Structure 1
Amino acid sequence: MSRSTVLGFGFVILSAFFFAVSGPVAKALYGAGWTPGSVVLLRLVGSALLLAVPTLAALHRRWRLVRRHGKLLLVYGVVCMAGMQGTYFVAVQHLSVAVALLLQMMGAPLIIVAWLWARSRRRPAAITVVGIVVSLAGVLLVLDLRGATLSVPGVAAALASAACLAVYFFVSSHQSNAIPPLAFTGLGMLVGALTIGVAVATGLMKGRFSASEVDFAGAVVGWWLPAGLLVVFTVGAYVCGIVGLRHIGATVGSFLNLVEVPFSAFAAWLVLAEALTPAQMVGGLVILAGTVFVKLGESRAGSRVAVAAD
């Protein structure tokens, strides 16, 4: 693998880790009386404020880039920030976290592959198909679905979140986007915060906050500690995601992001005392193996296209 690919893998894995840790932290806030709308609004407003100064610095004398990529930025903020987080937390209200995460994580890569297949009219390489099957098998190993119940609204919200996640991979990997990753994230957070703010103000999402103490990682702490960590993890997840996806692309990135599932299991064990199982550990390794197959398949497909062009 090239240095760029290795760098991309590293940043996407780090992004997946930050996303994964955010879930259990948010769940700790739920226990203190917070709602999905309040948690998402906190994440976006806090992240936008945290990135305000770096965003302004990165865009010094470069505001023309914002005008040039305004539509892409709007999609990123509304769909990838507000839409992806909002629909996921709605899904969690109706489904178990395991099922909601399964539908989101499995749905996004399949949507991406199907979209690229329909757009290019080229069937994915056999090794890519093998990578898809192996990666999804790894997810099934990590998630314990025994006794799970489904609901139509929950499934619809989880699939909507998967579609938003697919858009996130496409937008984040956009090679022509010249806005610096830090600034792009900061502006996206602002657009997403405004979107969720409207949803909460109109009653589309419930936004109940609480100043009660929180049971967090085996200790009772003030609400501000998990809230602050949630903001920091959110910023890290999106910034690392953009940097990594610009190196490895949407297809590979979407499958590599499946490592978020075992990361979530580990974070749940650390923060919420939910134990890991041997199957979950094996599942994480299987997901990584499947991602390597997908990358190999994409590389071979690119080589065939290059040869055909010659």
Structure 2
Amino acid sequence: MSTSTAPIAIVPALPVSRGLTSGLVMALGSALAFSSSGPLVKPLFEAGWSLTSVLAVRMGVAGLVLAPALVRVLIRQRGFVRRHGVLLVGFALTGVMGCQLFYFSAMQRMPVAVALLIQYIAPVLVVVWVWLRTRRRPSNLVIGGSAVAMAGLVLVIDLAGARFDALGTLFALGAAVCAAAYFVISERTGDDLPPLALAAGGLLIGAAVTILLGVTGIIPFAAPAVSVVVAGMEVPWFVPLLWVATASTAVGYAFGVMAVPRIGSRLASFVGLGEVLFALGFAWLLLGETPAPIQFLGGALVLLGVVAVRMDADSAGTPQGPAAVVPAP
């Protein structure tokens, strides 16, 4: 009897490990992809491009890149839009468009460092959400890891002489809530709602809503044909924008939504903090903005916090993979 039951205990552990490893790699790849957008978009803003126009092109092109995944699902599944339309719109308005509009609106009213710091409390919001949903108190590893990661984030983001603005703070908190929603909604993907279909639908809906806001004049829309300087080279406007739309946004969302079902929304949100560290590296390489020594220390603390949350996932035996993770409705 012992020989017949042994394979049952051993075999399922292998796909779980592979799913966890692949999920972590995808989450890091998503953070790396997203982090390259800031240094490339900044010259466009300085050259006269409006936020609405950048976001419309960024989301629209990325959505078209991932559109085949959505088309396949629409052909294969009757009633797909009826079953998942609300979730697609929610993902578009929060995880795709909302966090970007709120963040950039906050950035216009307060220092970038403060807006970033508030937005990146999203992992803590995910921890609170999981706590409320499961009614299980987070472990000491998660609480300690959260505190260490947030302390590291404060060091990474230079707050010297920072000022707070009431409306800007509300915008940044809105960005944090939307970022948390991105991870929570992504965890609900599976065979019936493939991750890439969610990403494509969210990006295309987000682009459509953004264009509507620009056309109606609710948000300014400007897209001049200019040249910008990137990494010391003068290039046409479409060069950095195409990179941001494809390599940054399409790849970032594709890897991100595929990673969350494998490793869970909580761990994925903490791995997402790597975007801040990668962004520092890109700003260093492309814009010549050298990080201060204290920022390197902060980066180490962020990584330490992520490792602590990762260790909790191991000790808790968290099931991984789209078939195993079934979030509460």
Specify if TM > 0.5.
yes
Alignment partner, residue 68 of structure 1: 83
TM-score (norm 2): 0.86
* 2:40 pairs with 1:32: no
- Which of the residues 88, 104, 112 maps onto 1:97? 112
Is the 2:61–2:245 Cα contact (8 Å) retained in structure 1? yes
Alignment partner, residue 37 of structure 2: 22
Letter in 2 for 1:296: M
- Which of the residues 207, 213, 228 maps onto 1:214? 228
RMSD: 1.9
Output aligned runs, 1:203-282, within 5 Å: 203-232=217-246, 233-282=248-297
Alignment partner, residue 297 of structure 1: 312
Instruction: Give how far 1:35 is off.
Output: 1.6
Moved more, 232-241 or 74-83: 74-83
Distance in 2, matches of 1:267 and 1:66, equals 38
Deviations 1:133-192 (A, max 9, x none): 111122122111101222112111111000000000001121556333222211111111
Alignment partner, residue 10 of structure 2: none
* Closer/same/farther in 2, CA of residues 237 and 183 from structure 1, 3 Å limit: same
TM-score (norm 1): 0.91
Alignment partner, residue 120 of structure 1: 134
Distance in 2, matches of 1:204 and 1:295, equals 43
Instruction: Give how far 1:58 is off.
Output: 5.3
Distance in 1, matches of 2:308 and 2:251, equals 27
* Closer/same/farther in 2, CA of residues 286 and 231 from structure 1, 3 Å limit: same
Unaligned 5+ residue runs, structure 1? 304-310
Instruction: Give how far 1:14 is off.
Output: 0.8
Is the 1:36–1:90 Cα contact (8 Å) retained in structure 2? no
Is the 1:216–1:272 Cα contact (8 Å) retained in structure 2? yes
Distance in 2, matches of 1:263 and 1:173, equals 24
Unaligned 5+ residue runs, structure 2? 1-15, 319-329
Is the 1:105–1:258 Cα contact (8 Å) retained in structure 2? yes
- Which of the residues 166, 172, 176 maps onto 1:152? 166
Is the 2:196–2:258 Cα contact (8 Å) retained in structure 1? no
Letter in 2 for 1:199: L
Is the 2:142–2:309 Cα contact (8 Å) retained in structure 1? yes
State the aligned residue count. Answer: 302
Instruction: Give how far 1:16 is off.
Output: 0.8
Deviations 1:272-299 (A, max 9, x none): 2211233323322321221121122344
The structure that has the greater radius of gyration is 2
